[in-house]
Amino acid sequence: MRHKPRSERNQLELFRALPGDLAPRDAQDLMAYPSFSLAKSKRVVPIDFRAGAIAIRVEAVPEHGMATIRDADVLIWAASQIVEARDAGLKTLRLMAATPHEILTIVGRDTSARDYDRLKAGLDRLQATLGLTSIRQPAERRRHRFSWINEWKETADANGRPTGLDLILPDWFYRTYFGLTGGLERWLYRLVRKHGGRQQGGWSFDFLHLHAKSGSLSPLKHFAFDLREIVRRQTLPGYEFVITRDPNGVERLNFCAPLHRSVRGAASQARARPSRWR
């Protein structure tokens, strides 16, 4: 006799979604590569993408179809909650509780009964869609199998009246937005979100300017070493980094969201116009 897999729900603490009109946070790393259906009709044909060492395969089940680009708004909402709570010094958890009205309002949707049904159908697609990728897997033969959410369910009071919904984020997704453990990483992430997230061509700073801007007590050579390590690991979600030298030989950190354009294009502009990107 086969036993039904036990839910994670009983093992996790609950994180209640923050109230108020939060601005949706960028989640460019989700959009940088083809991972969602762009079609309005149900898609069951897999996505197969390969570019250099990066490979992605996304599969759908016929019952629900593939998660769509509109379904990804729920993930942007979840990322917003994690980052907002973390920056406020609050405890964040993978088991999240909210009302459909809260989610729909923050992502800019209507709140009719039809929109509630669409949200629930989107949650089904996010849970059912499966992906396989080599992104951030250092060994060529290693692949990361993922889904967008682990579980979700509607909640109700003792009389059966709906009270909201719970969803469980995958560990990999949660760690993407909460896993910046180093002080320099956290500071740099806020900086690139402020600058790189608003410029299609990305942004660039020389190391000396970054060192002064950070207020770090570490010597410049140690600060520069730490920057090179961050670039080597590419650990900041949603952005690509490259180090260049301008015509005067000054080392520069260049970054942009890969959704917009290659960071190497931004780097070439940095060499051509270093004074603009200070």
Q: Tell me, letter by letter, the H, E, C secondary structure of 168-184.
A: ECCHHHHHHHHCCCCHH
Q: Would you state the pLDDT for residue 98?
A: 93
Which is nearest to 268 in space by CA: 212, 259, 256, 185?
Answer: 256
Q: Say how far apart CA 198 and CA 256 lie, in whole Å.
A: 9
Which is nearest to 147 in space by CA: 31, 27, 36?
Answer: 36
Q: Say how far apart CA 112 and CA 104 lie, in whole Å.
A: 10
**Domains, in order of start, for the chain:** 9-178 (no CATH), 183-272 (1.10.10)
pTM given for the model: 0.61
Contact status, residue 83 vs residue 67, Cβ threshold 8 Å: no
pLDDT one digit per residue (tens) for the chain, 278 residues: 445 555 665 555 555 554 554 444 434 444 567 889 988 899 999 999 887 777 889 999 999 999 998 998 898 888 878 877 877 778 888 899 999 999 999 888 999 999 999 999 999 999 999 998 876 555 555 677 889 999 999 999 888 888 999 999 988 888 766 665 567 877 887 777 666 554 556 788 899 989 888 878 788 988 898 899 888 877 676 678 889 998 888 999 988 765 443 334 433 433 333 322 23
Contact status, residue 231 vs residue 241, Cβ threshold 8 Å: yes
Give burial (CB, 10 Å; 0-12/13-18/19+) of 252.
buried
Which is nearest to 154 in space by CA: 109, 117, 115, 105?
Answer: 117
DSSP string, 147-210: ES-SEEEEEE-TTS-EEEEEEE--HHHHHHHH---SHHHHHHHHHHHHHGGG-TT-EEEEHHHH
Which is nearest to 61 in space by CA: 74, 42, 48?
Answer: 42
| Cβ neighbours for 242, distance < 8 A, ≥ 6 positions apart | 231, 254, 255, 263, 264, 267
